[in-house]
Structure 1
C-alpha cells in the first residue's frame, strides 16, 4: 500500500509539473502574441521599421532581398500576411504601385496603413530625368536615398508604431532617436565629402539618385528613367554618348540586381569603366553574406561616388 501511495504521489507531482509547463508555455505564447505585427514592403522600409521597433514588435519583409522590387507583385499568401498584420508600411504608391489595389481587396479596417514618404514633397519624375519625356503626374519615390529625407520617413514610422502600440511609445521614441542620429552622422559624412567635389555630375543606370543629388548639390545623369528595366531609345543613347564624352565621364554606375548591359554598352562606347552604385531597393546576396545594412551600403555608395566627384 505504501508503495502504491508513493507511486500515486509521484504521478501527481509529474502531472502537476506538466500542467505548470503547459501553463507557462501558454503564458509565453500569449505574451508573444501581444507583440505588434508589422509587415513592410521592401528593404529600406524594413530596415527603418526594424530599427524603430527593436524588440517591441515583429517586423516582416514582403519583397525578398535580391529581388528587383519595381515589378514585384504580391501573391495571395503575401496579401494574407498584410491582412493579418497590425501595421502595414510602404514607401509610396508611386513605387509600390500595387498597394492601392491590395488595400481595396482586403479587410483593412483593423490595419494601420503607413505611407512612409507622406508629408515629403516628391519631385516630378521629369525633374530627375534630364529631358526625358515622362508623365507629369508621376513622381520620383526614391526618397530613402537621402539621409535627410530618410529621417522624415523614420519619424512617420515611429509615430505610427506609437499610435498602434502606446504601451511601447517610449521605446519606439528612443529607438527612432538613435536611428535618426545615425542618419544625421551619415548626412554629415556626405556633406563633408560633396562640399569638396571637383565634379558635380555622375552617370547612373536609372534615375534613383535624384534626391541624393539634390541634397548635396550634385547632378544625376541617368541612362534609364525611374524604372531600371526601361531601356533608353537609340536616340537617347546617342545623346548620352555625346554628353558623357563632352563631360569627360570616366565612370558609369550600374546596379547589381538588374542587367548592366546598357551601362556596359555606354561605358565601352566612351572608354569609361563601370562601378556599382546601389539604389538600396534590396540587399544583394554578397551584402547579406557580409552582414551589411542600409548605413553600410550608403557609406559604400559614398566611397564609389568619390571616384567621380573628387577625381
Structure 2
C-alpha cells in the first residue's frame, strides 16, 4: 500500500516540479483578504477585470510587464496566490498551454473558480504547421483528439473589439457568480466597458471600410479575428507563436506578395524582435510600422498610462495610414 501511495503522488509532484521551474520576472500583486481576488493570465483580461471589478476586486496579473505570453510559464508564488483567490481568469483557446497542469498543482483546499474567458467566441482554426502546438494543447484541454496535421485554434481573440466584448461579458458574469452581493456594481461598470468596446468596434468598421487596400503583412499571426471582423486579410511572417521561425522560401514569397500588391508597410510588434519584419521590409523596399496585438504592456506603455483602448486606437490609425 505504501508503494501504491507513492506512485499516486508521483504525477502531481512531477507537475509541481515543472511549474516551480518557471523562471523570469515575477508577476505583481498579492492577495487582499477583504476583496474578491482575481488572478488573470495576461494583460487584456487583467484590464477588463480591473475595470469591471472596480473597488470590489483585487486583480493580480500573472504576466509581468514587458513579457510576451506565448512562452511564459508560472512561478511557485503564482500557484500560492491562485490557490487563495476566488477567480482565475484565462483566455483559453490554447494560448496558455500550461493551464491544465497549473490547475492540478493548486492547493487541494482551494475554492478558486477557473474561467476560460474566450468561451463562446467563434474560434478561427488554422492548419498551420508550427513548433508550439497550441491546437494540440487546446484539444487536450478540452478532451479532443489532436493529430500532427490537425487544425490549430487561433487564440488571439481579444485583438478584435467584437470578441473582446464577449470576453468582458464572461468576466462580468464570473464576478457576479462568485460575488453576487456586488452584482449591481459589476453590471454598471461592465456596461461602461461594453459601450467603449462597441464604440471602438464601430470606429474600426467605419474607418477600415473607407481604405482602398485590405492586405496587411504582420510579424506573427495574431490578427485573424481583427481581419475577419473588419474586412482585412493578414499575411504573417511567423506563425501563431511569434518564435515559430519562417523558412527562407516563405520570406521570398512574402516579399513577392508585398511588391505585387503594392503593400507599403510591414507591421511589427514591440514585445518580440523586429528583426524578421525589418529584413522583409528591406528585401521588399518598404517601411515598417507597429501593429500591437495587445498581449502585454511594455515598460514605456505603462509609464505612458497606455491601455487596451489607447493601444487599439493607435492600431487603427496605423492601419488607416498603411492601407491608404
User: Normalised by the size of structure 1, how large is the TM-score?
Assistant: 0.85
Residues 150-169 of structure 1 mapped to structure 2, 5 A cutoff: 150-169=164-183
Divergent runs of 4+, >3 A: 126-129
Cα 1:300–1:116, aligned 2, differ >3 Å: closer, same or farther? same
Question: 2:311 aligned with 1:281, yes or no?
Answer: no
Task: Check 1:126–1:137 CA distance in 2 against 1; reply closer, same or farther (3 A cut).
Answer: closer
Deviation larger for 211-220 or 100-109 = 100-109
CA contact (8 A) 1:93 1:100 kept: no
Deviation digits for residues 155-212 of structure 1 (CA, Å, limit 9, x no counterpart): 1110110000010011001111110000011011101101102000011000100000
- 2:124 aligns to what? 123
210, 222, 228: which one aligns with 1:208:
222
| Partner residue in 1 for 2:256 | 242
Aligned-pair CA distance for 1:104: 1.4
SS of the aligned residue for 2:55 comes to coil
Q: For 2:228 and 2:165, locate their aligned partners in 1 and report how far apart those are by CA, in whole Å.
A: 16
Which residue in the other structure is 1:233 paired with? 247
Q: State the match for 1:41 in structure 2.
A: 41
Q: Where in structure 2 are there 5+ consecutive unaligned residues?
A: 1-31, 131-147
Cα distance in structure 2, aligned partners of 1:147 and 1:93: 17
Partner of 2:316: 302
C-alpha distance in 1, partners of 2:149/2:189? 39
- The structural deviation recorded for 1:34 is 2.6
SS in 1 for 2:245: coil
1:76 corresponds to 2:76 = yes
Contact kept, 8 Å, 1:43 with 1:283, in 2: the verdict is: yes
**Normalized against structure 2, the TM-score is what?**
0.82
Matched, 1:139 2:150: no
- Measure the CA separation in 1 of the matches of 2:112 and 2:258: 49
Q: State the distance in 1 between where 2:38 and 2:149 align.
A: 33
CA deviation after TM superposition for structure 1 residue 307, in Å: 1.4
Contact 2:92 2:116 in 1 (8 A): yes
Match of 2:162 among 143, 148, 154: 148
| Contact 2:93 2:118 survives alignment (8 Å) | no
Give yes or no for contact 2:93–2:153 (8 Å, CA) kept in 1. Answer: no
**What does the per-residue CA deviation read over 1:109-135, in whole Å, with 9 as the maximum and x for residues that have no partner?**
511111100111211133899xxxx84
Q: Does the aligned pair in 1 maintain the 2:128–2:239 contact within 8 Å?
A: no
Measure the CA separation in 2 of the matches of 1:247 and 1:285: 36
> CA RMSD for the aligned pairs?
1.6
Distance 2:178 2:239 in 1: 37
Does the residue aligned with 2:94 lie in a helix, a strand or coil? coil
Match of 2:280?
Answer: 266
Give the number of equivalent residue pairs. 275
Larger CA deviation: 229-238 vs 176-185: 229-238
Counterpart of 2:115? 114
Aligned to 2:86: 86
Cα distance, 1:33 vs structure 2: 2.3
Cα distance in 1, alignment partners of residues 244 and 254 from structure 2:
15
Based on CA coordinates, which of the two structures has the bigger radius of gyration? 1
Give the corresponding residue for 1:29: none
Distance in 1 between residues matched to 2:294 and 2:149, nearest whole Å: 25
Retained in 1: the 8 A contact 2:242–2:272? Answer: yes
Structure 1 residue 221 corresponds to structure 2 residue 222? no
Do structure 1's residue 182 and structure 2's residue 196 form an aligned pair?
yes
2:265 touches 2:289 (CA, 8 Å); kept in 1? yes
Deviation of the 1:137 alpha carbon: 3.7
Kept in 2: contact 1:93–1:99 (CA 8 A): no
